[in-house]
Amino acid sequence: MTNKTIISGFSRLERKEKLDLLLQNIPDRVQAFQEIESYRHSDRRIQNLHDEFSENTITNFYLPYGIAPNFLINGRNYMVPMVTEESSVVAAAARSAKFWSALGGFNVQVKGMSKNGQLHFTWKGDHDRLRNAFPSLKEMLLKGTEHITANMVKRGGGIKSIELLDRREDMEDYYQISAGFDTGDSMGANFINSCLEEFGVILKEFLRTGNRFEKGEQEVDIIMAILSNYCSECLVTAEVGCKIGGLKSMAGDMQADEFAGKFHRAVRIAGIDVNRATTHNKGIFNGMDAVVIATGNDFRAVEASGHAWAARNGRYGSLSTSGTENGMFYHRLTLPLAVGTVGGLTGLHPMARRSLQILGNPDARELMEIIASVGLASNFAAVSSLVTSGIQSGHMKMHLSNILNHLGADKAEKEAAAVHFEGRKAGFAAVEEFLNTMRREKQNIN
Ligand code: MEV
C-alpha cells in the first residue's frame, strides 16, 4: 500500500480484515497483531461499548487513571480522578491540593451556566423589514422547537434568549440568529445543535410565507447551524489565598515574601508575553483536561473555549492572576468551562461513571468548581516549582522512571538507577549505559 492508495469501504470491513490491511507492510506484523489484540478488553460487553464510541476501532489505547486526594473545595473534600499520560501532573495537583487544604482550600464560584450557538446565514433584503419582523420570527423559533426543548424545559433549562445579529459589516449579507441555552447538567451540544438546525428550517419557512417579505427577499442561504464552544457566559472562578507567611513551605531557599514576589512576577509575565502565556495556560489545562477526560467530558471544547477566553482582550494572555493585598497572597483562575454530568460519554463510559461517583455525583456546576480548582492547583504547583527549584528535578525523576520501564528494568535495577542518577542528568543513552553495565557485571558474577 502506498500513501497514494485510496481505500474504499474500509469501514465495512470486519475488524480482522481491517487489521490485515493495516499490518500488511509492517515488518513485525505477527508481534504487532498480538500487541494490538492484547489491548482489547477481555469482557466482550465492555469492548463492544468502546468499539462503538468511535469508528473503525481496532483496539483500545490506555491512559493512566490516577487520583489526586485532598482537594478541599468550598468546604468539601474530594479525591479527584485524573486521566493523563504526563508524568508529574497528578503529583503536582495533589501537592498543591494538600498545601491549600491546610489553608482553607479552594473558594470557587460559578458565574453563569449559559451556552450559546448561532445560525449563520446570508440574506439579501431590507434589513429593517427583517428586524421589524424578528419578534414574530422569535416566537416561531421558540414554538417550532418545542418538540426538542420540552424535556429540557421540564428540567428548568431550554432556550433562554434569541437575537438577530446584523454582521454585514464583517461579510456581505451576513446575519446570525444567536441563541443562549441552559442545558442543565448536560453539556448539551446535541440539544443546542438540534435547536439551531431547526431554526434554519423555520427561518426559511418564515421568509417564504405570510406575505411579510418581497419576492426577492424570500430566499435565504443558510450557511451553517452550530453551537459555539466559546462559552463566555459559562464562567467559573477558583481562588486560593493565605497570609504571606503561610507560603513558607513552598518557598524553597527563599523567604515567603520573596517567593510571593517572584510568583506574582511569573504570573504577570504570562500576562504580557505570549510565549510564556501559552505554556503557563498549558500547565493549567494539564490538570483540567485530566479531570475532563476522567469524567467523560470533551477536553477539546474546554481547551478551545479557554484559549479563546485567554485572548478576549485582543492579545493572548494568562488565564490566572495573582497578587498580594494587605499581606494576603491570592491566586485566581477564571475561565469558561462547559461540562456535563449527564448525557454523552458521562453515563456511557463505565470509568466516567465511576469518576463521577468518586466525586460524589456532582451536578454540572459542582463539576465546574472541581475542574477549575484542579486547574488552579496545577498552575500553582508549576509556577511555584519554576520560581524555586525549576521543574526539571521533579520531571527528571519521572523521566528516569519512563526510560527504565522502556528498557525493561527490574525492581533492583530501578532502585540502583534512582541512587546513581540522584543529581545527575538521566538522558536515555546514560540510563541505557548504566543498565548495560549493571547487567554485564551481574552476568560476570554469575
Ligand atoms: C509542563 O507540562 C507544564 C509546565 O510547563 C507549565 C508551566 O510552565 O507553567 C510546567
Q: What is the pLDDT of residues 126-152, one digit of tens each?
A: 999 999 999 999 999 999 999 999 999
pLDDT for 1 equals: 53
Nearest Cα residue to 187 out of 249, 231, 242: 231
CB 399 within 8 A of CB 426: yes
Identity at 129, one-letter amino acid code: R
Nearest Cα residue to 345 out of 113, 65, 45, 53: 53
pLDDT for 397 equals: 75
pLDDT for 382 equals: 98
pLDDT for 33 equals: 97
DSSP state of 7: P
**Residues of the chain where predicted confidence (pLDDT) is lower than 50:** none
pLDDT for 2 equals: 54
Q: Reply yes or no on whether 147 is catalytic.
A: no
Q: Reply yes or no on whether 411 is catalytic.
A: no
| Dist. CA 396 → ligand 1 center (Å) | 14
pLDDT for 183 equals: 97
- In the chain the domains, ranked by start, together with CATH numbers, are 1-62 (no CATH), 65-112+233-390 (3.90.770.10), 115-228 (3.30.70.420), 395-445 (no CATH)
Q: Reply yes or no on whether 86 is catalytic.
A: yes
pLDDT for 3 equals: 61
Which three three-digit cell numbers place residue 56? 473503525
| Dist. CA 354 → ligand 1 center (Å) | 29
Which three three-digit cell numbers place residue 334? 477564571
Euclidean distance between CA atoms 82 and 207, whole angstroms? 50
Euclidean distance between CA atoms 88 and 65, whole angstroms? 13
Q: Of these residues, 282, 397, 414, 420, which one is catalytic?
A: 282
Contacts of 126 (CB under 8 A, 6+ apart): 214, 217
pLDDT for 426 equals: 84
CB 112 within 8 A of CB 335: no
